[in-house]
Structure 1
Amino acid sequence: MTEQAEHTLINTFTPRPGMADRLLELQLQEIESLGDTASATGWLGNTIYRATDGVALVIVTRFRSEEAKAQWQASPDFAAHLDRIAPLVESVNSMPVRLAGAFQGTEPGAGDDTPLRLAVILGSTREGRFGDKPADWIAGKARQAGFDVTVIDLRDVPLPFLGDPAATDAQTRAATDFAASLSAFDAFLFTVAEYNHAPTAVLKNALDHGDWSRRPAGLVGYGGVGGARAVEHVRGIAVELEMPTMQAAVHITMSDYLPVSKGETQLSDLLHLEGSADRMLAQLDWWARALRTARRAG
């Protein structure tokens, strides 16, 4: 799929006299209440700034594309939002902008130090699953390595099978929201359970629902031979999705799986797994930064 440039707006609000604090409070409430609805159309987030004079409010709004911005602004929810804030606003100036350049430092190798946004995705929803343990472990290690980590449990995302005509409205909304949320991340990390020499159906279905292109992925496999056959299966799928997977992966074999599942030891106690995870996260950091820079350059 073709990568679309993000569409960014700088909105400067001048509140009515005495309404600055109330406008800020209301805008925060609106973001919280409308966030899920706006995300479904391609809204990526707001950053709010308060002028040092305590009056003007500057909101930087990001959309997945200009078309996504237009879709949100044409919605009834956005119209109702404008009606709610209108009594507090004297004037607003909205200016679309695009990244023209960024200072990257003067020393060799200096670059963007903004934390990379990483989604750790639990690839199994089965009863009694083991996946929570590697997900919690690798998420903690990623945070220590400097990633901004969000854990996504596919149990919480009721995705229909792709193209299923029997999908409910709730499933359709969940699929739309899930697909839209992926653009907020710079990299992904999947727990890969192996069943019958393959990854789970829910993980394959989740991969089918999203646009993962030009964002790298790390893989933590477990099961027979450390989930190696399922991991290799996911690598083949990722190629078609234009999603680079890291050369290093974590493979939790049955000799490690059993004592960890019984609570006799922890993944963090197993030095060979710690080493594999460190190598994978280092590779993921490099690829995520390189691809983020390339995406921003268009």
Structure 2
Amino acid sequence: MPPTQLRTSIKILLLLCAGNLSCAGKHQALDTPHKSITLNTRWRSDTGPEAAHHSGTVEWAAGETAIIVCDMWDDHWCKGAAERVTELAGPMNRLLNRARERGVFVIHAPSSVVAFYAGTGQRRRAREAAFSPTPVPLSTAERWGTSWCWPDPDREPGLPIDDSDMGCDCATKCEIREAWTRQNEQIEICPQDAISHDGQETWNLLAERGIDNVILVGVHLNMCVLGRPFGIRQMVHLGKNVVLLRDMTDSMYDHRMRPFVDHFAGHELVIEHVEENWCPSALSTDLTGEAPFRFAADGRE
């Protein structure tokens, strides 16, 4: 093995060992009976002046539930986006810890950089999961290193924000580059977790465990959380019960683009778009018992 490859392999092993040690003793869900989780959900019935939020509750068996962590990378080409991911990562890690304690299965999906974890038990778990046919064909379109589930015009109107500039909200636009190499180090990858960015692998993992309920967290909502092969659109098309944790996500939106509102107001519009067209949302509070996460720069009332 070349020295550089050996050093990379050792680094990955040390990182995962450190994560395993921090997970050990805290998350014994595999050795205890699965518990139920209750989510206080919110959705929208319509747009325009008659639009309204509705609320309800769902109770899911924890052992039949997965959380998929979308694209919480170690860096991003947009400095503002990278800073918000770093701010979100710690609270998200606490959420995942509480979910594991209840028996929820965690899939880490750092798109285009899963090769960083090649040879780990969590990556092998996804690759070696027994094949299971999907009820409908998976999307085969490609975008940004994975297959992509594009909007269904019969179901979903255009997004309420213009992200055609790729959404960097920084005062000086950042140059687009591939900045990410792995998942953010604040997010623990525990021994019982899996790592995949592949739609079929994700389906296999869920089918193998009899999981029908999927919670999505991560970034960015208007792009990858909706469109990736493990994201909201694909999971809904496959018939899963899907919930977005709306305080555990962010959008790529620039306030200088339509509808010319601040970043967080634009992000809220995307959440409402998802609630109306795809799935309900809930708050991390339902799993953590803590106050909902809020970005420090979000000055809205």
| TM-score (normalised: structure 2) | 0.30
Q: Hey, which of these two has a bigger chunk of helix by percent?
A: 1
Flag the structure with more relative contact order, 1 or 2, with Cα contacts below 8 A and sequence separation at least 6. 2
Q: Which has the larger Rg?
A: 1
